[in-house]
Amino acid sequence: MNLKQFFRFVEIQTKVASQFPLILGSLFCVYQYGRFDWLAFGLFFTALLSLDMFTTGLNNLFDARRNRYQFENKRDYHNVLLRDDLPFKWAEMILLVLLVIVLITGLGLVFQTDLIVLALGMISFGIALIYSYGPVPINHTPFGEILSGFTMGGLITFLAVYIHTHHLGWVGLQGDYLQLNLREILRIGLVGMPLILSTANIMLANNMSDLHEDRQNGRFTLPHYIGLDHSKRLFSFNYLLIYLVITILVITQVLPWTCLIV
């Protein structure tokens, strides 16, 4: 497997969706709290990118195993493993390496921060697995947009802020109790809302374009249940809601006015 095939296997062009919340969450942290931890950022960036590539690669590997005899001509396949007739063992080795990188950088981030990051990281990893793996993977159901939006848009944004500000104490353990600063958590949740909706829209657009192929492969996503017309309306409504939330956050001075330009 050469570099070009590897990039197609992990669909490198889609990785902006996971890195965008990390970058914007970190920039918000600089704007709101005046803090930035380069080491924590680097560890989180590497762990997040590796986990995203692992999830996509795992999904493509399972799809290749299910659909390897669907077409007689290899050029009819979209999956690079089938199109280029690549050994599945190579894909498994790459996934193992990515998983090791996730574990090493993830544990490094925990040592750099605290156990809250470990707990949220385990939740993220669990969601990544059930998204592509299991009797009924989440990406085969109408809940893919919701779960990917919550995880990539919301949870990553929260972690992106928390890794820089964990020592401020607005989330932590107080004896046997979890201590929460609900005001700060709500603020970060609102900042993450545009990213939650935009991530969900990315998945929705992808599922709309792949509707026919997904049905053939046994994937019954949200557009299958609500139809293309309602999916397009939902897509437009989400973007209107994004602009509304950003405007409110700028008016309340949670975000700088320059966000309106972007």
Q: Would you say 133 and 125 are in contact if contact means Cβ atoms under 8 Å apart?
A: no
Q: Is residue 233 part of a domain?
A: no
Domain harbouring 115, CATH code: 1.10.357.140
Q: Mean pLDDT, to the nearest integer, of 199-212?
A: 87
Adjacent-strand bridge partners of 177: 174
Q: Is residue 225 part of a domain?
A: no
* 3 state SS of 73: coil
Give me 241's structure tokens.
Answer: 């809601």
In this prediction, residue 142 carries a pLDDT of 87
User: Which of the four pLDDT bands, split at 50, 70 and 90, describes residue 85?
Assistant: confident
Q: Is residue 171 part of a domain?
A: yes
Which of the pair, 105 or 62, is modelled with greater confidence? Answer: 105
In this prediction, residue 76 carries a pLDDT of 46
Range of the domain at 117: 3-194
pTM of the model: 0.83
Which of the pair, 71 or 211, is modelled with greater confidence? Answer: 211
Q: Is residue 245 part of a domain?
A: no
Domain count, the chain: 1
Q: Is residue 143 part of a domain?
A: yes
Beta-strand ranges (E) seen in 124-181 are 171-174, 177-180
Average per-residue pLDDT for the chain: 85
pLDDT tens digits, residue range 22-40? 999 999 999 988 889 999 9
Alpha-carbon gap, residue 204 to 209, rounded angstroms: 9
In this prediction, residue 174 carries a pLDDT of 66
Q: Which of 187, 159, 130, 190 is nearest to 45 (CA)?
A: 159
Q: Is residue 204 part of a domain?
A: no
Q: Is pLDDT of 161 > 80? A: yes
Give me 235's structure tokens.
Answer: 């897509």
Q: Is residue 158 part of a domain?
A: yes
pLDDT tens digits, residue range 114-130? 888 998 889 988 887 78
Q: Is residue 241 part of a domain?
A: no
